Amino acid sequence: MHQDTTADSPATARGAVAIIANRRGELLLHLRDDLPGIAWPDHWSVLGGGCDPEEEPRDAIVRELGEEAGLVVADLTELFEIRDEHGSGQLITFFAASWDGDETQLPLAEGVKLQFFAPEHLGILTIPPFIRDGINRYLAARPA
């Protein structure tokens, strides 16, 4: 799918995140470190990160999943883009994938923990607004 990027300035910082669901429909969330200087410290988010210069979002999310959690997914689907208006300012490409392993066994390289949550439990979690928007869009479009 070709996207017209002429409206984007070359300086637009980009990132990529993955909404990962297991067969029970739970979503894999990542508790971010509580460190000064990082975007959304001590928030639950989805795995992902910034794109390196000239790196496509799909390549970035594959790299980030591997670096952050030793995770390889087979069914990566591009969903939509949302700008992180109140955090990094990056234009974030959201992807969806499925994975059915034990999240407590993943080799977490950054952040505090990974945990699957049922969608109805997400309301009590502290989640960055653009991530919550993306999750809500994903859940609304998901077949029941």
Domains and their CATH numbers in the chain: 14-141 (3.90.79.10)
pTM: 0.89
| Mean pLDDT of all residues in 78-96 | 94
Q: Are 90 and 60 in contact (CB under 8 A)?
A: no
Q: What is the mean pLDDT of the chain?
A: 91
Give the chain's count of helices (H) and strands (E): 2, 7
| Mean pLDDT of all residues in 5-24 | 78
Who contacts 53 (Cβ-Cβ below 8 Å, separation ≥6)? none
Q: Are 7 and 84 in contact (CB under 8 A)?
A: no
Who contacts 125 (Cβ-Cβ below 8 Å, separation ≥6)? 29, 44, 117
- Note the pLDDT of residue 133: 97
